[in-house]
A and B are shown apart, each in its own frame.
Chain A
Amino acid sequence: QSALTQPASVSGSPGQSITISCTGSSSDIGNYNFVSWYRHHPGKAPKLMIYDVSYRASAFSDRFSGSKSGNTASLTISGLQAEDEADYYCSSYTSNSTYVFGTGTKVTVL
């Protein structure tokens, strides 16, 4: 049950697009389309952004999109805004009937 691998940090200027990768294995991302993404401000409840790889939760606009290729999933934030600064986590269902989170990515808006 190793954590999925994400870059520790990603940054961009307002209006730019950024992409966060999330790499797992054939036991999780590669074998299931149950990849979700969460935004987390420490001390607050995590918030579901994307589920089933690419479906947006109702609170998130089409600036947020998800995709998957092989064992790697990605979250793209376009038109970056100051309020997008947060920690972002991917998650996947696994072959052990458990879940695993990614290592987390801190997004900074320059």
Chain B
Amino acid sequence: EVQLVESGGGLVQTGGSLRLSCAGSGFTFTNYWMTWVRHAPGKGLEWVAHIKEDGSEKYYADSVKGRFTISRDNPKNSLFLQVNSLRVEDTAVYYCARRCASTNCYIYWGQGTLVTVSS
């Protein structure tokens, strides 16, 4: 059974940093692009970033470019999101998700980790 479990969220002040983690199991982690998606309260889903199987390609939403860094540790089946220079508008539940096997969609999702940025 595929499982994705996020951790690392919490309450942080404006300008602060956090490192979010996502532990994958039940599949060959190194074979899939992985992504981060967030859901701010009262707003819609927002795609944040994704990373290629071997970590050689990374892409970001304009809203987080230069502040967030996606990375992965394949031997440890782990995905990370380093979030710096946090703003109030970054308050959201952050989900990690695994790409579909052969096309561009996300089939497996974690339950999310909440990041709250206070001013």
Do residues A45 and B111 form an inter-chain contact, with CB atoms below 8 A?
Answer: yes
Cβ of A43: which chain B residues have Cβ within 8 Å of it?
93
The reply on B32 being an interface residue by CB < 8 A is no
Do residues B95 and A34 form an inter-chain contact, with CB atoms below 8 A?
Answer: no
**Whole-angstrom distance from the CB of A94 to the nearest CB of chain B?**
9
Cβ of A34: which chain B residues have Cβ within 8 Å of it?
103-105
Cβ of A103: which chain B residues have Cβ within 8 Å of it?
44
CB contact between A57 and one of B35, B107, B111 (< 8 Å): that residue: B107
Per-residue A-contact encoding for B50-65, CB less than 8 Å = 1, 0 else? 1000000101111100
The reply on A46 being an interface residue by CB < 8 A is yes
Do residues B109 and A46 form an inter-chain contact, with CB atoms below 8 A?
Answer: yes
The reply on B37 being an interface residue by CB < 8 A is yes
Do residues B109 and A52 form an inter-chain contact, with CB atoms below 8 A?
Answer: no
Do residues B59 and A91 form an inter-chain contact, with CB atoms below 8 A?
Answer: no
Contacts A40-B45, A48-B105, A101-B45 given: A96-B59 contact, CB under 8 Å?
yes
Do residues B95 and A46 form an inter-chain contact, with CB atoms below 8 A?
Answer: yes
The reply on B24 being an interface residue by CB < 8 A is no
Contacts A51-B100, A96-B59 given: A45-B47 contact, CB under 8 Å?
no
Contacts A51-B100, A51-B103, A91-B105 given: A97-B47 contact, CB under 8 Å?
no
Chain A residue at smallest Cβ distance from B46: A101
**Whole-angstrom distance from the CB of A40 to the nearest CB of chain B?**
7
Do residues A48 and B107 form an inter-chain contact, with CB atoms below 8 A?
Answer: yes
CB contact between A3 and one of B44, B100, B103, B106 (< 8 Å): that residue: B44
Do residues B111 and A44 form an inter-chain contact, with CB atoms below 8 A?
Answer: yes
Within 8 A of A (CB), among B62-119: 62-63, 93, 95, 97, 100, 103-107, 109-112
Per-residue B-contact encoding for A39-63, CB less than 8 Å = 1, 0 else? 0101111111001100001000000
Per-residue A-contact encoding for B20-41, CB less than 8 Å = 1, 0 else? 0000000000000001010100
Do residues A99 and B47 form an inter-chain contact, with CB atoms below 8 A?
Answer: yes
Do residues A99 and B50 form an inter-chain contact, with CB atoms below 8 A?
Answer: yes
Cβ of B97: which chain A residues have Cβ within 8 Å of it?
46
